[in-house]
Chain A
Amino acid sequence: MSGDVVDQIFIRAKQWLLSWLAGAPDWIIQITSSLLNIFALLGVFLTLFALISVLERKILGRMQNRYGPNRVGPFGLFQPIADGIKMLIKEDIVPARADKIVHFLAPILIAATAILALGVIPYGRNMTPFAIDGGILFFFAVGSTTELAVFMAGWGSNNKFSMLGAMRAIAQMVSYELPLIITTLPVVMVAGALSPDVIVTAQAGYSFGFVPHWFVTTPWGAAAFVLFFVSGLVESNRTPFDVPEGESEIVAGHMTEYSGFKYATFFMAEYIGMFAISGLAVTLFLGGWHAPVRVLQFIPSYIWFFAKLSALLFVYIWLRGTLPRTRIDHIMNFAWKFMLPMAFTCIFAAAVWHYMGRGLAGWLCSLAVIGIVYIALSILLDTRKRFATRTYRFAE
């Protein structure tokens, strides 16, 4: 089948490269195989990072009625290279009172954890860099060390703004880590495994040939996806939740004392973390590398994965162009009073859905469960009376 060849082309290429080593001891082949995976992963995502950094500026520019970068290379596409060289030759300033070691280690740790988290996501059929049984748990365990890196950056700089930014960042990251982890539980429950590969396989198939069996098409899946996406926004410190870096309040938060390439490393880690969270969202809720419609299955699996990933990344950029920054107390209240109960409700709704035989009855019942809790929460948390009615004033 010709479609199969294109779909598995990277695996074939890897096997061809490994065939040069035929006859070498087993461990050499293993190490080479994983190194090939890792460098392919790094190459793809660093390119994606460069591409997204310029596309984000261009899209934001269009949203704000300007051009965005358009000077370096065709359509400004070489901008990231220029930026990279600029960052590389900048002076690296370390404040005198900073803890030099911790100050240096923080960007390394934050970049390393972001890169490590990318490893468990299936990018296509048979294309998971490391297929470990507890992939989802591994992802969150790695992700939870990001908070330590942020703390190290804040504390190592010995600056009030850095420390305050770090404390805020950690407080909001731990608050949203709970809904982030809890919303993956219904998916784990329904798929019956922690391995991302099994979860993607569980989303194969179509009803009537055009409704994919992605978890986002069920009520609990849709609710969990939205909660997961919002938590992902906070975890990657993106607008509207970029309080830790709110430059009008606390300069650049935990990155205040970083300059040159160390700052760029933080920037890169933020973007790679964003790719990782979006990739996990695609894997868990949007069917991973499965095609949305049966007739489009001839398109290779990895193209579908990256198409869905790009769609989510576009939403990230779109939100940044649209929403203003949220206040820190609003962010925290939202996490503990709305996101957490809703996340638990998703588990309950998924349990009901499974219990009712996964059919239409289960679909309606889980919708009812989520609807009731949502309405109850919006009545209990009525925020309308706390705000004065908005008055619009225009420049004459």
Chain B
Amino acid sequence: MPPFLFWIFALLMLVFGAAVVINRNPIASALNLVVSFLGLAALFMSLDAFFVGIIQVLIYAGAIMVLFLFIIMLLDLRAEKLRKINWLASAGGIAVALVLLTQILYVIGNLKAAQQTFPPLARSTIDDVRNVGLVLFGNYNLPFQIIGILVLVATIGIVLLSRHELR
């Protein structure tokens, strides 16, 4: 993929990611998050991870954002809009973020691996959905069943938590 596409998608992610934090309105934040997810999905696809990229859109941009939006609609939005910005706290947050950023840049600058160019990705002959399937149902059958139990526990949790709301 030409580098300029990488920069476009990475910038898209970062700009809209920042907009998520800056926006005062929770729904506008959530909608910005979707664009950020789409940029991330494009980056995944550029790394030949088609399945992960599509799942990113299908699950995060499709399903989880719907849940976020529904939860926001349960809440009272006016309280959030009226909240005053604490400038001191914001300045502190920005300072911490900047310190972290310089630290990361410093570490990357001193890391040997970061100075070499990455080896090109090995092109797989079969598509990645098939790959995931073969590995998941070949070697990782037990973890797969445990994921099933995890989802079961989640289902029960939802039902229990919302039980008194349903009455």
Contact = CB atoms under 8 A, between A and B. Distances in A.
B73 A134 contact: no
B127 interface: yes
A194 B66 contact: no
B159 to A, nearest CB: 13
Nearest to A101: B28
B57 A144 contact: yes
Nearest to A102: B31
Nearest to A138: B54
B63 A144 contact: yes
Contacts of A155: 27, 69
A145 B58 CA distance: 8
A163 B72 CA distance: 13
Interface string B41-57: 00000000011001001
A133 B50 contact: yes
A141 B62 contact: yes
Given A137-B51, A167-B73, A174 B63 contact: yes
A151 B69 CA distance: 8
A141 B129 contact: no
A144 B34 contact: no
Nearest to B25: A99
B51 A134 contact: yes
Contacts of B66: 147-148, 151, 170, 174
A137 B63 contact: no
B82 to A, nearest CB: 17
B111 to A, nearest CB: 35
A194 B61 CA distance: 21
Interface in A122-138: 132-134, 137-138
A144 B127 contact: no
Interface in A353-395: none
Contacts of B28: 99, 102
Given A133-B50, A148-B65, A155-B27, A141 B57 contact: yes
A134 B58 contact: no
B129 A144 contact: no
A298 interface: no
A145 B61 contact: yes
A125 to B, nearest CB: 22
Contacts of B34: 145, 148
Contacts of B31: 102, 148, 152
Contact of B54 (A137, A145, A163, A170): A137
A134 B50 contact: yes
Closest 4 CB pairs of A and B: A144-B62, A141-B57, A133-B127, A141-B58
Given A99-B28, A138-B54, A148-B62, 9 more contacts: A133-B50, A133-B129, A134-B54, A134-B129, A137-B129, A140-B58, A141-B62, A148-B66, A151-B66
20 contacts: A102-B28, A102-B31, A133-B50, A137-B51, A137-B58, A141-B61, A141-B62, A144-B58, A144-B61, A144-B62, A144-B63, A145-B34, A145-B57, A148-B61, A148-B66, A148-B69, A151-B66, A155-B69, A167-B70, A194-B127
